Amino acid sequence: MGKASGVFLLVGLCLGAIVAMTLVPPSRSGPAAIAASRAAVLTIEAEAVPVESPPPSSSAVPGPPPKTVDIQALADLVPGGQVSAVVYDRTAEKTVVSLKSERSYTSASLVKLLIALEALQAGTPASTVQRMLSASDDGIASRLWSAHGGPVIVTRWVAKIGLGGTRPPEDPGRWGDTRITAADVVKVYRYLLDQAGAGTRTTIMRALSGATESGSDGIRQYFGIPDGVGDLPWSIKQGWACCRGSRILHSSGVVGEEDRYLVVVLTSQPTSTTYSGAGKRVTDVVKALLPAIDGL
């Protein structure tokens, strides 16, 4: 019986081992299975966590901020005096700079624009009008002023163009004392370029684009627009006078391709300022306006 019991015991142990192997899951059957199970869990967890894509990189480099005209700083460029300035963009059909545009000034030679319009309408030879404008010839201006009614020239064109701040001189013989504003000078150029007859427009614009460096009186008239706008094309009518209480220097005209910008700078400066010194100040104002002229 002792041997038989031993045999039964051995058989029982073997059967128990077989049953245990059958009942235990494969995942727990050894180290390799355990490692594989853990890897599977990690894979599931990785798939469950959303992965954010990095933001797309941009190669665009921000440009410099747009240039602007410091309106308040313009007045500082004419110490002890007064300055008005207007830039009108004909393409955009809007005023892009306006400083004291309704302030009144002595016109000096800018009134020659109105004299030219009147004289051409009356049949004056184009060459005579062009000489008056390009060299700012006072003798021709005086003759045409007298021949065509003097102050009536101003009142007639004030009504025709709609000039709100332009007045004929108190002394009928002093055409240069006509009163003007920067806003009205812009209106004169707009009329000339957009409404005047083709012959009148061509005659006057040729004279303005061919302005001589010195006027008929010897004063250098390339201050302001010509000295200030660099290589941009220009056509100008300048004005200067002295010395009934102030030195007057004005720069007006058309700047840019296809006559895009109308630029007017009017100044009244102390009589202690020389023409060259006062002219440099007008040039400085024009340079300060360049950001409004096509962003220069």
For residue 49, tell me if it sits in a domain: no
For residue 54, tell me if it sits in a domain: no
For residue 35, tell me if it sits in a domain: no
Domain holding 141: CATH number? 3.40.710.10
pLDDT of residue 140: 98
- Residue 214, phi then psi, degrees to nearest 5: -115, 140
pLDDT of residue 2: 45
Q: Give the chain's domain count.
A: 1
Query: Which residue range is the domain that position 273 belongs to?
Result: 71-292
**Rounded distance between C-alpha atoms, residue 198 and residue 203, angstroms:** 9
pLDDT of residue 61: 53
For residue 153, tell me if it sits in a domain: yes
**Rounded distance between C-alpha atoms, residue 188 and residue 197, angstroms:** 14
For residue 262, tell me if it sits in a domain: yes
- Bond prior to 243 in cis (omega within 30° of 0): yes
pLDDT of residue 134: 98
pLDDT of residue 66: 53
- Angstrom distances, CA of residue 196 to CA of 123, 185, 190: 15, 15, 9
Q: How does DSSP assign 192-229, residue by residue?
A: HHHTS-HHHHHHHHHHHHT--SB-TTS-B--TTHHHHS
H-only helix segments in 49-181: 71-76, 112-121, 126-134, 138-147, 151-161
Crossing angle for the helix pair 112-121 and 182-194, to the nearest 10 degrees: 30
For residue 14, tell me if it sits in a domain: no
For residue 242, tell me if it sits in a domain: yes
Low-confidence ranges of the chain (pLDDT < 70): 1-67, 296
Model-level pTM? 0.79
For residue 42, tell me if it sits in a domain: no
Q: Hey, what amino acid is at 262?
A: L
pLDDT digits (tens, 9 = 90+) for 223-244: 999 999 999 999 999 999 999 8
